[in-house]
Chain A
Amino acid sequence: SAVISQKPSRDICQRGTSLTIQCQVDSQVTMMFWYRQQPGQSLTLIATANQGSEATYESGFVIDKFPISRPNLTFSTLTVSNMSPEDSSIYLCSVVTGIGYGYTFGSGTRLTVV
């Protein structure tokens, strides 16, 4: 399976600012996925990032709030914009490297907005 390097691992940010999270995969993948996991909760898909096209956002998530870049097949960024305390959560990127392999996740970014 793939190895994903995600950073930062954690950050404490002031409300109204933005944070960009980066994920680097050790192999080329068609799709990268961005998830949010609030403390003690399940994972919620934010968007799917394809190289060379705009990301596809799930209901409740918009590009202005969570802009995504996917400049090549091994890298993606998620920006959390104009942050509020409600954005405090763990953000995870993930990929699927083959049929039957499931999702491989980055180590996550624990964001606290104060």
Chain B
Amino acid sequence: GQQVMQIPQYQHVQEGEDFTTYCNSSTTLSNIQWYKQRPGGHPVFLIQLVKSGEVKKQKRLTFQFGEAKKNSSLHITATQTTDVGTYFCAGLGNQFYFGTGTSLTVIP
């Protein structure tokens, strides 16, 4: 069946360093969404990408959808302690699946 994998599973960075999480699907996706879940919280929708090769930015966050629409990435520039949490991608293939998540720890 369809799988959406994310790497890395965990990432520890010093505050101010950049961070990237990668999302890979076994099937082509109609769209990709990204969510952030703070520790103890619930997932919060960040953005949706629909077009092949699409790039969107939200302040220090850059989201990219691959040309083949099977992968995506989230890049955070100059991480801050407020970026701590788990980042999930979620994609619509034959069903809607959440990725395995990347847990980000930012060391002050």
Contact = CB atoms under 8 A, between A and B. Distances in A.
Interface stretch (A12-20, A61-69, A73-81, A101-109): A101-109
Contact of B45 (A45, A104, A106, A108): A104
How large, as a class, is the contact surface on chain A? 10 to 19
Interface in B40-91: 41-48, 50, 88, 90
Contacts of B90: 103
Interface string A59-95: 0000000000000000000000000000000001000
Given A1-B45, A42-B101, A108-B42, A102 B35 contact: yes
Summarize A's interface: helix, strand, loop or mixed.
loop
B98 interface: yes
Instruction: Determine which residue in A44, A92, A103, A104 has the highest number of CB atoms from chain B within 10 A of its CB, and name it.
Output: A103
A40 B40 CA distance: 11
Interface in A12-55: 40-45
Contacts of A92: 42-43
B48 A103 contact: no
Contacts of B50: 100
A105 B96 contact: no
Contacts of A108: 42
Contacts of A102: 33, 35, 45-48
B100 interface: yes
Interface of A: 1, 40-45, 92, 100-108
